[in-house]
Amino acid sequence: MGDHTNSARALFISRDGGIYPDDLICSGVLPAELGGRPCPYAQAGRMPEPVPLSPDDPAYTVDKGQPGDLCPPCAKQQLAHLGHWLRNGARIPKELLPLRLFKCRQWFWLVVPGLHDAEPTKLYPDGPVHRAERRNSAPEENDHRN
């Protein structure tokens, strides 16, 4: 996989524990479920930027979060933080665990780099989660670089 450092709007978590940047998933390059076609909710093959939820928006539901929380417009549901849902033995980088987990309209799980569940109204784009995008095989457990 190419270097997607600092470019991913979202990281998608596959059932096998693989982590893929939004450009590979939303463009239809990887998921067989999309049949090689871009996601109909994508913007130029990318996940749309997260926006604050508004109760005045007809698409708003409490399943997405509270008013003011940041949420991708293509999200169907907010599921707490990623660490809440992991099974024992999951090989997900620990820096992703506090990130807010969403289920998209295509039913994939995703996290937004820099969007922590503890602070859902703030996006920290320079957070230490970008190196996790490159981890699809064995984790680099002793790698503590940002």
Instruction: Return mean pLDDT, the chain.
Output: 83
Compute the average pLDDT of residues 104-113: 94
Q: What is the mean pLDDT of residues 138-143?
A: 37
Tokens of 75: 């999200």
Pairwise CA distance, residues 67 & 13, whole Å: 26
Tell me the percentage of the chain whose pLDDT exceeds 70: 79
- pLDDT band at 128, cuts 50/70/90? very low
Instruction: Using the predicted structure, report yes or no on whether residue 141 has a pLDDT greater than 70.
Output: no
Rounded percentage of the chain residues whose pLDDT exceeds 90: 64
Task: Enumerate residues 6+ apart whose C-beta is below 8 A from 79.
Answer: 85, 101, 102, 103, 109
pLDDT of residue 87: 65
pLDDT at 131 over 50: no
Q: What is the pLDDT of residues 19-59, one digit of tens each?
A: 999 999 999 998 888 888 999 999 999 999 999 999 999 99
The H or E element that residue 61 is part of is none
pTM for the whole thing?
A: 0.79
CA nearest to 139, candidates 72, 105, 103, 94: 94
> Sorting pLDDT into bands at 50, 70 and 90, what band is 86?
confident
Please give the single-letter amino acid code of residue 58.
Answer: P
